[in-house]
Amino acid sequence: MKPRRLISRIRKFTQFSLRDLLATAGPTIVLVAGLCALAYVIVDPAPPRQVRLATGQENSAYEEFGKKYAAQLAKDNIKVTLVRSPGSQDNLQQLQEGKVDVAFVQSGSTNEAEAERKGLVSLGSLFTEPVWLFLREDVKATQLTELKGLKINLGPEGTGVPKLFRQVLSLNGVGPADLSIGALENTPATVELLAGRIDGLVFSSGPDALLVQMLLQTPGIKLVNFDQAEAYARRLPFLEHVVLPRGIVDLGRDLPPRDYHLIAPTATLVARSDLHPALIELFVQAAGEIHGGAGWFQRQGQFPSSQYTEIPVSREAAKYYKDGPPLLQRYMPFWVANLFDRLWVVVVALAALILPFSKVVPPLYVWRIKSRLYRWYGQLRVVEQTLDEAAPEERAAVCASLLKRLDDIEERVNHMSIPIAFADNLYGLRSHINFVRQRINAALKAAQPA
Protein backbone atom coordinates (compact mmCIF):
# COMPACT_ATOMS: atom_id res chain seq x y z
CA MET A 1 0.00 0.00 0.00
CA LYS A 2 1.35 3.42 -0.92
CA PRO A 3 2.44 5.60 2.07
CA ARG A 4 0.25 8.52 1.00
CA ARG A 5 -2.83 6.29 0.87
CA LEU A 6 -1.95 4.79 4.25
CA ILE A 7 -1.67 8.26 5.82
CA SER A 8 -4.99 9.21 4.24
CA ARG A 9 -6.63 6.22 5.89
CA ILE A 10 -5.00 6.94 9.24
CA ARG A 11 -6.41 10.45 9.06
CA LYS A 12 -9.87 8.94 9.01
CA PHE A 13 -9.38 8.61 12.76
CA THR A 14 -9.03 11.99 14.43
CA GLN A 15 -8.86 13.21 18.01
CA PHE A 16 -12.22 14.87 17.51
CA SER A 17 -14.57 15.74 14.69
CA LEU A 18 -14.46 19.47 14.03
CA ARG A 19 -17.47 19.29 11.75
CA ASP A 20 -19.59 17.55 14.37
CA LEU A 21 -18.33 19.87 17.08
CA LEU A 22 -19.34 22.91 15.03
CA ALA A 23 -22.68 21.34 14.17
CA THR A 24 -23.52 20.74 17.84
CA ALA A 25 -21.82 23.72 19.50
CA GLY A 26 -22.37 26.19 16.62
CA PRO A 27 -26.01 27.05 17.38
CA THR A 28 -25.14 27.36 21.07
CA ILE A 29 -22.22 29.67 20.31
CA VAL A 30 -24.37 31.81 18.03
CA LEU A 31 -27.12 31.96 20.65
CA VAL A 32 -24.69 32.90 23.43
CA ALA A 33 -23.00 35.52 21.23
CA GLY A 34 -26.38 36.98 20.26
CA LEU A 35 -27.57 37.19 23.86
CA CYS A 36 -24.28 38.75 24.96
CA ALA A 37 -24.49 41.32 22.17
CA LEU A 38 -28.07 42.07 23.16
CA ALA A 39 -27.03 42.54 26.79
CA TYR A 40 -24.09 44.70 25.69
CA VAL A 41 -26.30 47.02 23.65
CA ILE A 42 -29.46 47.17 25.76
CA VAL A 43 -28.23 46.93 29.33
CA ASP A 44 -25.30 49.36 28.99
CA PRO A 45 -25.35 51.14 25.60
CA ALA A 46 -22.30 52.87 24.22
CA PRO A 47 -22.06 56.59 24.96
CA PRO A 48 -23.22 58.92 22.20
CA ARG A 49 -20.54 60.74 20.21
CA GLN A 50 -22.35 64.07 20.26
CA VAL A 51 -23.54 66.22 23.17
CA ARG A 52 -25.10 69.70 23.40
CA LEU A 53 -23.74 72.22 25.90
CA ALA A 54 -25.65 75.41 26.73
CA THR A 55 -23.22 78.25 27.48
CA GLY A 56 -24.11 81.93 27.88
CA GLN A 57 -24.08 85.30 26.17
CA GLU A 58 -21.57 86.43 23.59
CA ASN A 59 -18.10 87.15 25.07
CA SER A 60 -19.17 85.71 28.43
CA ALA A 61 -17.03 83.41 30.56
CA TYR A 62 -19.55 80.63 29.96
CA GLU A 63 -19.00 80.89 26.22
CA GLU A 64 -15.21 80.88 26.59
CA PHE A 65 -15.27 77.87 28.87
CA GLY A 66 -17.68 76.11 26.51
CA LYS A 67 -15.04 76.32 23.78
CA LYS A 68 -12.49 74.76 26.13
CA TYR A 69 -14.82 71.88 26.94
CA ALA A 70 -15.46 71.29 23.24
CA ALA A 71 -11.70 71.14 22.58
CA GLN A 72 -11.10 68.84 25.55
CA LEU A 73 -13.80 66.32 24.63
CA ALA A 74 -12.80 66.41 20.96
CA LYS A 75 -9.64 64.55 22.02
CA ASP A 76 -11.87 61.56 22.74
CA ASN A 77 -13.88 61.99 19.53
CA ILE A 78 -16.88 63.50 21.30
CA LYS A 79 -18.42 66.43 19.42
CA VAL A 80 -19.70 69.17 21.73
CA THR A 81 -22.25 71.47 20.11
CA LEU A 82 -22.26 74.84 21.88
CA VAL A 83 -25.68 76.45 22.31
CA ARG A 84 -25.56 80.17 23.11
CA SER A 85 -28.18 81.40 25.59
CA PRO A 86 -29.03 84.46 27.71
CA GLY A 87 -27.89 82.72 30.91
CA SER A 88 -28.69 80.38 33.78
CA GLN A 89 -32.50 80.54 33.80
CA ASP A 90 -32.69 79.87 30.08
CA ASN A 91 -30.15 77.04 30.43
CA LEU A 92 -32.28 75.38 33.09
CA GLN A 93 -35.32 75.65 30.83
CA GLN A 94 -33.44 74.10 27.90
CA LEU A 95 -32.24 71.25 30.10
CA GLN A 96 -35.76 70.54 31.28
CA GLU A 97 -37.10 70.56 27.71
CA GLY A 98 -34.32 68.25 26.50
CA LYS A 99 -32.91 70.79 24.05
CA VAL A 100 -29.44 70.47 25.60
CA ASP A 101 -27.69 67.77 27.62
CA VAL A 102 -25.34 69.84 29.77
CA ALA A 103 -25.34 73.52 30.76
CA PHE A 104 -23.61 76.13 32.90
CA VAL A 105 -25.89 77.27 35.73
CA GLN A 106 -25.34 79.90 38.39
CA SER A 107 -25.92 78.97 42.03
CA GLY A 108 -29.14 80.36 43.40
CA SER A 109 -30.98 79.77 40.13
CA THR A 110 -32.86 76.76 41.52
CA ASN A 111 -33.06 74.55 44.61
CA GLU A 112 -32.59 70.88 45.44
CA ALA A 113 -36.27 69.91 45.36
CA GLU A 114 -36.89 71.65 42.04
CA ALA A 115 -33.74 70.16 40.49
CA GLU A 116 -34.79 66.64 41.47
CA ARG A 117 -38.27 67.23 40.10
CA LYS A 118 -36.83 68.38 36.78
CA GLY A 119 -34.42 65.42 36.60
CA LEU A 120 -31.22 67.48 36.87
CA VAL A 121 -27.90 66.55 38.47
CA SER A 122 -24.79 68.55 39.22
CA LEU A 123 -21.42 67.56 37.80
CA GLY A 124 -19.73 69.86 40.30
CA SER A 125 -19.12 73.53 40.95
CA LEU A 126 -16.52 75.04 38.64
CA PHE A 127 -15.55 78.53 39.74
CA THR A 128 -16.86 81.58 41.53
CA GLU A 129 -18.31 84.24 39.26
CA PRO A 130 -18.48 87.55 41.12
CA VAL A 131 -21.24 90.06 40.65
CA TRP A 132 -19.61 92.97 38.85
CA LEU A 133 -21.25 96.37 39.24
CA PHE A 134 -19.58 98.87 36.91
CA LEU A 135 -20.56 102.55 36.98
CA ARG A 136 -19.42 105.59 35.04
CA GLU A 137 -16.74 107.54 36.90
CA ASP A 138 -18.92 110.61 37.19
CA VAL A 139 -21.65 108.67 39.06
CA LYS A 140 -21.10 109.46 42.75
CA ALA A 141 -22.83 106.34 44.13
CA THR A 142 -20.66 104.11 46.33
CA GLN A 143 -23.41 102.19 48.14
CA LEU A 144 -26.32 100.21 46.72
CA THR A 145 -28.78 102.51 48.48
CA GLU A 146 -27.42 105.33 46.31
CA LEU A 147 -28.47 103.63 43.07
CA LYS A 148 -31.98 105.03 43.35
CA GLY A 149 -32.96 106.96 40.26
CA LEU A 150 -30.08 105.62 38.14
CA LYS A 151 -30.25 103.67 34.88
CA ILE A 152 -28.76 100.24 35.66
CA ASN A 153 -28.72 97.35 33.21
CA LEU A 154 -29.29 93.94 34.86
CA GLY A 155 -29.41 91.89 31.69
CA PRO A 156 -32.19 89.79 30.13
CA GLU A 157 -34.50 87.79 32.35
CA GLY A 158 -33.09 84.51 31.01
CA THR A 159 -29.95 85.09 33.08
CA GLY A 160 -29.62 84.58 36.81
CA VAL A 161 -28.43 88.13 37.50
CA PRO A 162 -31.77 90.01 37.56
CA LYS A 163 -33.22 87.65 40.15
CA LEU A 164 -30.03 87.65 42.22
CA PHE A 165 -29.45 91.41 42.16
CA ARG A 166 -33.08 92.15 43.03
CA GLN A 167 -32.57 90.06 46.17
CA VAL A 168 -29.44 92.05 46.98
CA LEU A 169 -31.26 95.37 46.41
CA SER A 170 -34.14 94.18 48.56
CA LEU A 171 -31.76 93.61 51.48
CA ASN A 172 -30.84 97.31 51.14
CA GLY A 173 -34.43 98.46 51.01
CA VAL A 174 -34.28 99.31 47.31
CA GLY A 175 -37.18 98.14 45.15
CA PRO A 176 -37.31 97.64 41.36
CA ALA A 177 -39.35 100.84 41.04
CA ASP A 178 -36.61 102.91 42.67
CA LEU A 179 -34.31 102.73 39.64
CA SER A 180 -34.54 102.31 35.89
CA ILE A 181 -33.66 98.69 35.07
CA GLY A 182 -32.39 97.70 31.63
CA ALA A 183 -32.57 94.24 30.07
CA LEU A 184 -29.85 94.44 27.39
CA GLU A 185 -27.31 91.68 26.91
CA ASN A 186 -23.83 92.36 28.24
CA THR A 187 -22.14 93.43 25.02
CA PRO A 188 -24.73 96.03 23.88
CA ALA A 189 -25.09 97.18 27.50
CA THR A 190 -21.34 97.84 27.62
CA VAL A 191 -21.63 99.94 24.47
CA GLU A 192 -24.43 101.94 26.13
CA LEU A 193 -22.33 102.42 29.27
CA LEU A 194 -19.31 103.66 27.35
CA ALA A 195 -21.56 105.99 25.36
CA GLY A 196 -22.95 107.44 28.60
CA ARG A 197 -26.55 106.47 27.88
CA ILE A 198 -26.82 104.34 31.03
CA ASP A 199 -25.23 104.85 34.44
CA GLY A 200 -24.11 101.32 35.14
CA LEU A 201 -24.40 97.67 34.39
CA VAL A 202 -24.43 94.50 36.45
CA PHE A 203 -23.43 91.03 35.35
CA SER A 204 -22.01 87.91 36.93
CA SER A 205 -19.02 86.30 35.29
CA GLY A 206 -15.65 84.76 35.89
CA PRO A 207 -12.62 87.05 35.66
CA ASP A 208 -11.64 85.35 32.38
CA ALA A 209 -14.49 87.07 30.55
CA LEU A 210 -13.33 89.60 27.97
CA LEU A 211 -15.82 92.20 29.22
CA VAL A 212 -14.45 91.99 32.75
CA GLN A 213 -10.87 92.33 31.55
CA MET A 214 -11.76 95.28 29.38
CA LEU A 215 -13.93 97.21 31.85
CA LEU A 216 -11.39 96.85 34.66
CA GLN A 217 -8.88 98.68 32.46
CA THR A 218 -11.21 101.21 30.78
CA PRO A 219 -10.70 104.86 31.85
CA GLY A 220 -13.89 106.52 33.08
CA ILE A 221 -15.36 103.24 34.35
CA LYS A 222 -15.20 102.21 38.00
CA LEU A 223 -15.94 99.00 39.89
CA VAL A 224 -18.22 99.25 42.92
CA ASN A 225 -16.83 97.78 46.12
CA PHE A 226 -19.27 95.67 48.20
CA ASP A 227 -18.17 96.73 51.66
CA GLN A 228 -20.78 94.48 53.26
CA ALA A 229 -19.90 91.39 51.17
CA GLU A 230 -19.55 89.12 54.20
CA ALA A 231 -23.01 90.13 55.42
CA TYR A 232 -24.51 89.37 52.00
CA ALA A 233 -22.86 85.93 52.05
CA ARG A 234 -24.41 85.23 55.45
CA ARG A 235 -27.88 86.39 54.40
CA LEU A 236 -27.87 84.63 51.01
CA PRO A 237 -26.29 81.14 51.39
CA PHE A 238 -25.61 80.69 47.68
CA LEU A 239 -23.24 83.70 47.73
CA GLU A 240 -19.60 83.85 48.78
CA HIS A 241 -17.44 86.71 49.87
CA VAL A 242 -14.41 87.03 47.58
CA VAL A 243 -11.67 89.61 47.31
CA LEU A 244 -10.23 91.03 44.10
CA PRO A 245 -6.61 91.66 45.16
CA ARG A 246 -4.88 94.93 44.46
CA GLY A 247 -2.75 94.80 41.30
CA ILE A 248 -4.14 91.43 40.13
CA VAL A 249 -5.12 92.84 36.72
CA ASP A 250 -1.87 94.73 36.02
CA LEU A 251 0.84 94.92 38.66
CA GLY A 252 2.84 97.48 36.69
CA ARG A 253 -0.08 99.93 36.51
CA ASP A 254 -1.40 98.88 39.92
CA LEU A 255 -4.81 97.80 38.63
CA PRO A 256 -6.99 97.71 40.56
CA PRO A 257 -5.48 100.32 42.94
CA ARG A 258 -6.92 98.60 46.04
CA ASP A 259 -8.62 95.42 47.23
CA TYR A 260 -12.25 95.07 46.18
CA HIS A 261 -14.74 93.04 48.18
CA LEU A 262 -17.25 91.28 45.96
CA ILE A 263 -20.15 88.87 46.30
CA ALA A 264 -20.02 85.78 44.13
CA PRO A 265 -22.35 82.93 43.25
CA THR A 266 -20.76 79.74 41.94
CA ALA A 267 -20.91 78.42 38.39
CA THR A 268 -22.09 74.82 38.27
CA LEU A 269 -22.03 72.28 35.48
CA VAL A 270 -25.53 70.77 35.36
CA ALA A 271 -26.71 67.82 33.27
CA ARG A 272 -29.85 65.84 32.66
CA SER A 273 -30.02 62.79 34.93
CA ASP A 274 -30.25 60.48 31.88
CA LEU A 275 -26.91 61.61 30.47
CA HIS A 276 -24.67 58.60 29.81
CA PRO A 277 -22.36 57.89 32.81
CA ALA A 278 -19.30 57.75 30.54
CA LEU A 279 -20.02 61.28 29.29
CA ILE A 280 -20.44 62.49 32.87
CA GLU A 281 -17.00 61.10 33.67
CA LEU A 282 -15.54 62.83 30.61
CA PHE A 283 -17.07 66.19 31.53
CA VAL A 284 -15.87 65.94 35.13
CA GLN A 285 -12.36 65.05 33.98
CA ALA A 286 -12.42 67.96 31.55
CA ALA A 287 -13.56 70.22 34.40
CA GLY A 288 -10.52 69.13 36.39
CA GLU A 289 -8.23 70.06 33.49
CA ILE A 290 -9.91 73.42 32.86
CA HIS A 291 -10.75 74.67 36.35
CA GLY A 292 -8.25 72.85 38.57
CA GLY A 293 -5.60 75.59 38.66
CA ALA A 294 -5.28 78.63 40.88
CA GLY A 295 -7.12 81.79 39.88
CA TRP A 296 -8.06 85.25 41.01
CA PHE A 297 -10.57 83.90 43.53
CA GLN A 298 -9.59 80.28 44.04
CA ARG A 299 -6.78 78.14 45.40
CA GLN A 300 -5.03 75.38 43.47
CA GLY A 301 -7.30 72.32 43.44
CA GLN A 302 -10.27 74.09 45.04
CA PHE A 303 -12.36 73.51 41.89
CA PRO A 304 -14.06 71.55 40.48
CA SER A 305 -15.81 70.44 43.63
CA SER A 306 -18.90 68.62 44.81
CA GLN A 307 -19.50 71.49 47.24
CA TYR A 308 -20.97 74.96 46.67
CA THR A 309 -23.97 73.59 44.75
CA GLU A 310 -27.59 73.23 45.76
CA ILE A 311 -28.25 70.67 42.99
CA PRO A 312 -27.72 66.98 43.90
CA VAL A 313 -24.35 65.75 42.63
CA SER A 314 -24.49 62.78 40.25
CA ARG A 315 -23.13 59.45 41.48
CA GLU A 316 -20.37 59.32 38.85
CA ALA A 317 -19.22 62.86 39.62
CA ALA A 318 -19.20 62.23 43.38
CA LYS A 319 -17.13 59.09 42.84
CA TYR A 320 -14.64 61.06 40.74
CA TYR A 321 -14.22 63.74 43.41
CA LYS A 322 -13.67 61.05 46.03
CA ASP A 323 -11.46 58.52 44.19
CA GLY A 324 -10.23 60.31 41.06
CA PRO A 325 -10.56 59.03 37.48
CA PRO A 326 -11.60 55.38 36.90
CA LEU A 327 -8.63 53.02 37.06
CA LEU A 328 -8.77 51.93 33.41
CA GLN A 329 -9.03 55.50 32.11
CA ARG A 330 -5.78 56.37 33.85
CA TYR A 331 -3.87 54.04 31.54
CA MET A 332 -6.06 53.57 28.46
CA PRO A 333 -7.78 55.77 25.89
CA PHE A 334 -11.38 56.61 26.77
CA TRP A 335 -13.13 54.34 24.26
CA VAL A 336 -10.93 51.33 25.09
CA ALA A 337 -11.44 51.83 28.83
CA ASN A 338 -15.17 52.26 28.31
CA LEU A 339 -15.30 49.03 26.30
CA PHE A 340 -13.62 47.04 29.07
CA ASP A 341 -15.74 48.76 31.67
CA ARG A 342 -18.89 47.63 29.87
CA LEU A 343 -17.65 44.06 29.32
CA TRP A 344 -18.75 43.09 32.82
CA VAL A 345 -22.28 42.90 31.42
CA VAL A 346 -21.10 40.37 28.86
CA VAL A 347 -19.21 38.41 31.52
CA VAL A 348 -22.36 38.11 33.62
CA ALA A 349 -24.34 36.99 30.57
CA LEU A 350 -21.67 34.44 29.66
CA ALA A 351 -21.56 33.04 33.17
CA ALA A 352 -25.33 32.66 33.15
CA LEU A 353 -25.40 30.91 29.77
CA ILE A 354 -22.18 28.92 29.40
CA LEU A 355 -22.60 26.86 32.57
CA PRO A 356 -25.93 25.29 31.56
CA PHE A 357 -24.93 24.99 27.89
CA SER A 358 -21.66 23.28 28.87
CA LYS A 359 -23.75 20.38 30.17
CA VAL A 360 -25.81 20.18 26.99
CA VAL A 361 -23.18 20.41 24.23
CA PRO A 362 -21.02 17.32 25.13
CA PRO A 363 -23.97 14.88 25.14
CA LEU A 364 -25.17 16.40 21.84
CA TYR A 365 -21.69 15.92 20.36
CA VAL A 366 -21.57 12.26 21.47
CA TRP A 367 -25.10 11.66 20.18
CA ARG A 368 -24.23 13.17 16.79
CA ILE A 369 -21.14 10.95 16.38
CA LYS A 370 -22.97 7.80 17.41
CA SER A 371 -26.00 8.65 15.30
CA ARG A 372 -23.82 8.28 12.20
CA LEU A 373 -23.12 4.72 13.30
CA TYR A 374 -26.67 3.99 14.41
CA ARG A 375 -28.14 4.68 10.99
CA TRP A 376 -26.06 1.78 9.58
CA TYR A 377 -27.48 -0.44 12.29
CA GLY A 378 -30.85 0.51 10.84
CA GLN A 379 -29.62 -0.65 7.44
CA LEU A 380 -28.45 -3.93 8.94
CA ARG A 381 -31.84 -4.41 10.55
CA VAL A 382 -33.52 -3.91 7.15
CA VAL A 383 -31.20 -6.51 5.60
CA GLU A 384 -32.12 -9.03 8.29
CA GLN A 385 -35.84 -8.36 7.91
CA THR A 386 -35.60 -8.79 4.13
CA LEU A 387 -33.82 -12.12 4.67
CA ASP A 388 -36.45 -13.31 7.13
CA GLU A 389 -39.32 -12.34 4.85
CA ALA A 390 -37.89 -13.96 1.66
CA ALA A 391 -39.89 -16.86 0.22
CA PRO A 392 -38.03 -20.24 0.14
CA GLU A 393 -37.98 -20.36 -3.67
CA GLU A 394 -36.54 -16.80 -3.83
CA ARG A 395 -34.12 -17.08 -0.93
CA ALA A 396 -30.99 -17.74 -3.07
CA ALA A 397 -31.56 -14.69 -5.28
CA VAL A 398 -32.44 -12.55 -2.24
CA CYS A 399 -29.27 -13.67 -0.41
CA ALA A 400 -27.09 -12.79 -3.39
CA SER A 401 -28.70 -9.34 -3.55
CA LEU A 402 -28.33 -8.82 0.20
CA LEU A 403 -24.63 -9.73 0.09
CA LYS A 404 -24.01 -7.03 -2.51
CA ARG A 405 -25.95 -4.56 -0.41
CA LEU A 406 -23.95 -5.61 2.66
CA ASP A 407 -20.68 -5.12 0.77
CA ASP A 408 -21.81 -1.60 -0.14
CA ILE A 409 -22.66 -0.85 3.51
CA GLU A 410 -19.28 -2.14 4.65
CA GLU A 411 -17.46 -0.06 2.03
CA ARG A 412 -19.18 3.11 3.21
CA VAL A 413 -18.55 2.32 6.87
CA ASN A 414 -14.85 1.75 6.15
CA HIS A 415 -14.61 5.26 4.68
CA MET A 416 -16.23 6.96 7.64
CA SER A 417 -14.16 9.60 9.44
CA ILE A 418 -14.67 9.15 13.16
CA PRO A 419 -12.82 10.28 16.31
CA ILE A 420 -10.55 7.71 17.97
CA ALA A 421 -12.63 7.89 21.13
CA PHE A 422 -15.45 6.20 19.19
CA ALA A 423 -13.28 3.59 17.43
CA ASP A 424 -14.74 0.78 19.56
CA ASN A 425 -18.20 1.68 18.29
CA LEU A 426 -16.91 1.58 14.71
CA TYR A 427 -15.28 -1.82 15.13
CA GLY A 428 -18.38 -3.08 16.86
CA LEU A 429 -20.43 -2.04 13.82
CA ARG A 430 -17.99 -3.81 11.48
CA SER A 431 -18.18 -7.00 13.55
CA HIS A 432 -21.97 -6.84 13.40
CA ILE A 433 -21.81 -6.40 9.62
CA ASN A 434 -19.68 -9.54 9.49
CA PHE A 435 -22.19 -11.32 11.74
CA VAL A 436 -25.05 -10.47 9.35
CA ARG A 437 -22.90 -11.60 6.39
CA GLN A 438 -22.31 -15.00 8.02
CA ARG A 439 -26.03 -15.38 8.57
CA ILE A 440 -26.77 -14.58 4.91
CA ASN A 441 -24.07 -17.03 3.74
CA ALA A 442 -25.57 -19.74 5.93
CA ALA A 443 -29.00 -19.05 4.50
CA LEU A 444 -27.54 -19.11 0.97
CA LYS A 445 -25.92 -22.54 1.52
CA ALA A 446 -29.17 -23.87 2.92
CA ALA A 447 -31.03 -22.63 -0.14
CA GLN A 448 -28.61 -23.93 -2.83
CA PRO A 449 -29.37 -27.77 -2.58
CA ALA A 450 -33.01 -27.07 -2.87
Mind listing the pLDDT tens digit for each residue in 289-344? 999 988 888 888 889 999 888 899 999 899 889 888 776 667 777 666 666 666 66
d(Cα 390, Cα 383) in Å, to the nearest integer?
A: 11
CA-closest candidate to residue 157, choices 87, 212, 226: 87
Q: Is the pLDDT of residue 11 over 50?
A: no
- Taking residue 220's Cβ as centre, other Cβ atoms within 10 Å add up to 10
348 within 8 A of 15, measured Cβ to Cβ: no
The mean per-residue pLDDT over the stretch 397-417 comes to 86
According to the model, what pLDDT value does residue 335 have? 61
Q: What contacts 24+ positions apart, CB below 8 Å, involve 359-364?
A: 360/28, 361/24, 361/25, 361/28, 364/24
Q: Is the pLDDT of residue 5 over 80?
A: no
Which residues, at least 6 apart from 382, have a Cβ–Cβ distance to it below 8 Å? Answer: none
Q: How confident is the model at residue 47 (pLDDT cuts 50, 70, 90)?
A: confident
Report the percent of the chain where pLDDT is more than 90. 36
Q: How confident is the model at residue 138 (pLDDT cuts 50, 70, 90)?
A: very high
According to the model, what pLDDT value does residue 362 have? 76
Q: How confident is the model at residue 228 (pLDDT cuts 50, 70, 90)?
A: very high
CA-closest candidate to residue 295, choices 364, 205, 381, 360: 205
Mind listing the pLDDT tens digit for each residue in 353-393? 666 666 776 777 777 778 888 888 888 888 888 888 888 88
Question: Domain spans of the chain?
Answer: 3-33+360-447, 44-127+268-325, 130-264
φ and ψ of 93, to 5 deg: -65, -40
Q: Do β-strands 266-272 and 120-128 pair in parallel, antiparallel, or remain unpaired?
A: antiparallel
Residue 320 CB-density burial (10 A; 0-12 exposed, 13-18 middle, 19+ buried): buried
Q: How confident is the model at residue 421 (pLDDT cuts 50, 70, 90)?
A: confident
d(Cα 250, Cα 294) in Å, to the nearest integer?
A: 17
CA distances from 378 to 49, 371, 390, 416, 439 (A): 62, 10, 19, 16, 17
According to the model, what pLDDT value does residue 354 have? 66
Residue 209 sits at the vertex; the CA angle it makes with 98 and 145, to the nearest 5 degrees, is: 95
| Domain covering 44-127+268-325 in this structure, CATH number | 3.40.190.10
Domains 44-127+268-325 and 130-264 alike in fold: yes
Mind listing the pLDDT tens digit for each residue in 160-195? 888 889 999 999 999 888 999 999 988 899 999 999
195 within 8 A of 65, measured Cβ to Cβ: no
CA distances from 94 to 103, 311, 416 (A): 9, 16, 72
Domain 130-264: top CATH class: alpha beta
The mean per-residue pLDDT over the stretch 419-438 comes to 85
**b/e string for 414-441 if b means 16 or more Cβ within 10 A?**
eeeebbeebeeebeebeeebeebbebbe
CA-closest candidate to residue 273, choices 310, 306, 321, 313: 313
Mind listing the pLDDT tens digit for each residue in 88-109? 889 999 999 999 999 999 888 8
The mean per-residue pLDDT over the stretch 249-256 comes to 87
Average pLDDT along the chain: 84
Report DSSP state, residue 119: T
In this structure, is the dihedral angle defined by the CA atoms of residues 172, 174, 175 and 179, taken in order, positive or negative? negative
Q: Is the pLDDT of residue 248 over 90?
A: no
